[in-house]
A and B are shown apart, each in its own frame.
Chain A
Amino acid sequence: MSAQSNIQTSDKPLGRDELAELVARDIAPGSFVNLGIGQPTLVSNYLRPEQNITLHTENGMLGMGPVAVGEQIDGDLINAGKIPVTELPGASYFHHADSFAIMRGGHLDICVLGAFQVSATGDLANWHTGEPDAIPAVGGAMDLATGAKDVFVMMTLLTRDGVSKLVEHCSYPLTGVGCVTRVYTDKAVFLTGPDGVTVRETFGCTFEELQAMVPLPLVAAS
């Protein structure tokens, strides 16, 4: 086994929940965090109370609690995915311009987003397939991508056709330029920056096997 292979930390690729658990563990205590619609919302299931994380939802709330059930359901209290949620002690409400000032002003520590593609330099494509008959819808994706101090992406590494979503240059329309700092996938965690892509750890494959799947030069974390 080569020296580089010892960044493999799991025998198997990670499932969606295992990946969410890993992202949750990597969020620093006391952080203010926005979880995007879809797979990123799973992260909230694994945040521990002692981490003291405050969740932001772009429709005007800090201190968002778990999804509402039964009697708790209230049409006036929803998250960005329009799912009824709950409020935690210490929650606050504010209007939309303030909510996006929280984002754009750099007050959020982390946002976690899904992606179609991420480029070698951290460009993000996650809002539009670019197909001519697709109805475009951007929501808060561009604001989140450019506003949070750290942008984490959660996605499968490969498309259903086996093509890497981590690419040299995005072919889908961009959401933001050079904004992604980490990419969590089922097969590896990548750190992206102006100096290229570093692999922090791999799951179910060696570094060399991972490199064979990704069409850009990777560096293994030392």
Chain B
Amino acid sequence: MLNFIDTVSEAVAGIRDGSTVMIGGFGNAGQPFELIDALLESGATELTVVNNNAGQGDQGLALLIKEGRVKKMICSFPRQSDSWHFDARYKAGEIELELVPQGNLAERIRAAGAGIGGFFTPTGYGTMLAEGKETRIIDGRGQVFETPIHADVALIKALKADGVGNLVYRKTARNFGPIMAAAAKHTIVQVSEIVPTGALDPENVVTPGIYVNSIVRVADALGSKEQVA
């Protein structure tokens, strides 16, 4: 069931304490800042968050971590020059970290959306990130068994949605959006523009509307070209 929602607060209102939340974005590109701000205001806590990073600077995911709402991060690259809120929580032992190689993170999310129970991948074989995991030699290469990452909710950012929830993205802001939309039970999307059904070329739809539950329009979203330039 697809809903068009007027405000970001209403869009995230159903997210419960203890939820697993996928948040799109690679660094700031594609990060749905306005939905994250609303999640922060909602007070939801004890969250497990899936994102490539663990927040940058003093905005978005970084604030969710700063305010102690995140119990566990599943990500590939938490440490950055401006990841001070994560760094502080981690060093204080106040946040759990599951570190996943970026391609395994993406494929585990994809597997969840595609109904795959797991997969063998050469990435990580022979390293400490494969310790304790099942391995096999397949086609002469050592491979590691990885399991899907499911989520209760995905918060993602797209450029446009049409009336049936089809999405198109913008440049490298696409990143994790399409696979997270498929992997979560409930997918909430902020878009810059809602266009009439039929206005998107079906050949160019990136995320079909079947994966989308809630759409909220956020004009002039943080990180758009106008604000960065």
> Which residues of A come within 8 Å of B, CB atoms?
57-61, 71, 73-78, 82, 84, 87, 93-97, 99-101, 103-104, 123, 128, 133, 135-143, 146-147, 173-177
26 A-B Cβ contacts within 8 A? A57-B172, A61-B171, A71-B229, A74-B225, A75-B29, A75-B228, A76-B29, A77-B29, A93-B172, A95-B175, A95-B178, A97-B106, A97-B110, A100-B106, A103-B103, A104-B107, A137-B99, A138-B101, A138-B102, A139-B77, A142-B103, A143-B101, A146-B123, A174-B126, A177-B126, A177-B142
Docked CA distance A123–B142 (Å)? 14
Q: B79 within 8 Å of A by Cβ?
A: yes
Q: How far is the CB of B102 from chain A (nearest CB, A)?
A: 4
Known: A77-B171, A94-B174. A140 touches B127 (CB 8 A): no
Max chain A Cβ within 10 angstroms of own Cβ: one of B52, B77, B172, B206? B172
Q: B91 within 8 Å of A by Cβ?
A: yes
Assess the A147–B27 pair: CB atoms within 8 A: no
Q: Is the interface of B mostly helix, strand, loop or mixed?
A: mixed
What is the chain A residue whose CB lies nearest that of B170? A76
Assess the A60–B123 pair: CB atoms within 8 A: no
Q: Is the interface of A mostly helix, strand, loop or mixed?
A: loop
Known: A58-B102, A78-B172, A177-B142. A142 touches B177 (CB 8 A): no
Assess the A78–B27 pair: CB atoms within 8 A: yes
Q: B19 within 8 Å of A by Cβ?
A: no
Assess the B176–A96 pair: CB atoms within 8 A: yes
Assess the A95–B177 pair: CB atoms within 8 A: yes
Known: A95-B177, A96-B176. A82 touches B28 (CB 8 A): yes
Q: B60 within 8 Å of A by Cβ?
A: no
Q: B155 within 8 Å of A by Cβ?
A: no
Q: B179 within 8 Å of A by Cβ?
A: yes
Assess the B223–A76 pair: CB atoms within 8 A: yes
With a cutoff of 8 Å between Cβ atoms, the chain A residues found around residue B224 in the complex are 75-76
With a cutoff of 8 Å between Cβ atoms, the chain B residues found around residue A177 in the complex are 125-127, 142
Assess the A76–B172 pair: CB atoms within 8 A: yes
Q: B70 within 8 Å of A by Cβ?
A: no
Q: How far is the CB of A98 from chain B (nearest CB, A)?
A: 9
Assess the A76–B171 pair: CB atoms within 8 A: yes
Known: A60-B172, A136-B79, A137-B99. A75 touches B107 (CB 8 A): no
Contacts beyond the supplied A76-B170, A87-B171, A93-B174: 14 A-B pairs with Cβ under 8 Å: A59-B175, A60-B172, A76-B30, A76-B173, A82-B29, A96-B52, A96-B109, A97-B109, A135-B90, A138-B76, A142-B104, A143-B101, A143-B103, A173-B127
Docked CA distance A138–B28 (Å)? 18
Assess the B99–A138 pair: CB atoms within 8 A: yes
Within B65-111, the residues touching A (CB, 8 Å) are 76-80, 86-87, 90-91, 97, 99-107, 109-110
Assess the A139–B174 pair: CB atoms within 8 A: no
Docked CA distance A174–B101 (Å)? 13
Q: B208 within 8 Å of A by Cβ?
A: no
Docked CA distance A146–B90 (Å)? 29
Residue in B29, B100, B125, B177 whose CB lies within 8 Å of A146: B125
With a cutoff of 8 Å between Cβ atoms, the chain A residues found around residue B125 in the complex are 146, 176-177
Q: B121 within 8 Å of A by Cβ?
A: yes
What is the chain A residue whose CB lies nearest that of B110? A97
Within B161-187, the residues touching A (CB, 8 Å) are 169-179
Q: How far is the CB of A187 from chain B (nearest CB, A)?
A: 28
Q: How far is the CB of B124 from chain A (nearest CB, A)?
A: 5
Assess the A143–B99 pair: CB atoms within 8 A: no
Q: How far is the CB of A64 from chain B (nearest CB, A)?
A: 9
Docked CA distance A135–B75 (Å)? 12
Contact with A along B105-140 (1 / 0, CB 8 A): 111011000000000011111111100000000000
Q: B145 within 8 Å of A by Cβ?
A: no
